[in-house]
Structure 1
Amino acid sequence: MGQIFSSSKKVHSKHQPGRKEGDKVPNVVIKARIRVAPTEEVSSFVWKDIMVADLFKGKRVVVFSIPGAFTPVCSCDHLPSYMKLYDEILKMGIDDVYCISVNDAFVMRQWGILQGLVEQKDLENPGPSPLNPGNFKTIKLIPDGAAKFTRAMGMTCKWENIGGFGERSWRYSAVFNDMKIEKLFLEEDGNIEDDAE
């Protein structure tokens, strides 16, 4: 899993995550927009509070986190790498793949569409999880708009001097097995790119 991270060119600072392998995955509320009709009307979506445990409990999933939708490295390297390897990842005993970012549900949806993810519009056959936070068929995009999950994971960072970013998430990839952190990969073993965004 760790091989799909891009290499850093310039190291800015080191990060020590709050959670480590063997720890429990924090169970916080995610504010998501869930599709309830196959059209593009505003009324085709409703806001739903989803507990992280509702997504991950009893499953073995890959979760990767990015600093932001539409950022160059995340859009050109990270998400496309997981899209390309999606079927291979599932063959490794993984039930689903999720991408989380400190962005709102509107931004995550538009980013997913522009990246080529296919929306789940067949409401009679919603796929493996009716609580699909990003409404996509393969990789599920989780909006962590208030950074609640990212903070609980101990993965927040700021790039105010570089790109004017406020609180965002460190780049990491993890395997969660029934709400426990089985594997955790940090970009550059805990380093962050200074010039990525």
Structure 2
Amino acid sequence: MMIAVGEKLPTEGLKTMGADGPEAVDMASKLAGKKVVIFSVPGAFTPTCSAKHLPGFVDKIDEIKAKGVDEVMCLAVNDAFVMGAWGKDQNVGDNVTMLADGSAAYTKALGLSLDLEAAGLGTRGQRFAIIADDGVVTHLAIEEPGAFEVSSAEAIIKAL
């Protein structure tokens, strides 16, 4: 079942790249009492994700934060090593938290996984963006297959 506006986000199963390697992410703390944006890409280092989606949020971070957002997070079904390397490649610095969902458990809990087995990519996440207040979804924008419109930084700024 897909997550919906008004529902609480899951808090388990994500990692990020720390100074000493992969670290579990305490999503409960990241979400508690905060307004966050989580956007999902089908894969790190892929064309649209690297040329438009992640760079858009990095470029527009000041506008997003000016709308009261405490943290912006990028989610992908990749491991923490890949997400860390992609974050460095894209110069995200502290602007965007790179969330690794290596086994797709978090994405599946959201009901937003994507079967790309036939393309040799296995299970991935759909391209989407969520705005959440205190862990509760207030806005959910899911892209149609192959599209990049409703989950862009510009679209999220309008939704905020």
**Cross-structure match for 2:17:** 33
Deviation of 1:159 (Å):
1.8
Match of 1:61 in 2: 36
Is 1:115 matched with 2:90? yes
Instruction: Give the number of the structure whose alpha-carbon radius of gyration is greater.
Output: 1
Using structure 1 for the length normalisation, give the TM-score: 0.70
Q: Whole-Å Cα distance in 2 between the matches of residues 56 and 168 of structure 1?
A: 23
- Looking at both structures, which has the greater relative contact order when contacts are Cα pairs under 8 Å and sequence separation is at least 6? 1
Q: 1:79 is matched with which residue?
A: 54
Identity %: 36
CA contact (8 A) 1:69 1:107 kept: yes
Say if 2:117 is the partner of 1:154: no
2:22·2:81 contact (CA, 8 Å) conserved in 1? Answer: no
Question: Quick one: which of 20, 44, 47 aligns to 2:4?
Answer: 20
* Aligned residues of 2:16 and 2:98 also touching (Cα < 8 A): no
Q: Is the 8 A contact 2:130 2:141 kept in 1?
A: yes
Distance 1:159 1:80 in 2: 24
- Structure 2 SS opposite 1:53: helix
State the alpha-carbon separation in 2 of the partners of residues 60 and 71 from structure 1: 28
1:46 shift after superposition: 4.3
**Equivalent runs, 1:95-174 vs 2, <5 Å:** 95-118=70-93, 137-161=94-118, 163-174=119-130
User: What's the counterpart of residue 158 of structure 2?
Assistant: none
Structure 2 match to 1:93 = 68
Look up the SS of the partner of 1:138 in the other structure: coil
Q: Which runs of 4+ in 1 moved over 3 A?
A: none
Separation in 2, partners of 1:145, 1:69: 12
The total of aligned residue pairs comes to: 147
The residue that corresponds to 1:178 in the other structure is: 134
**TM-score normalised by structure 2 residue count:** 0.86
Q: Unpaired runs of 5+ in structure 1? A: 1-16, 36-44, 119-136
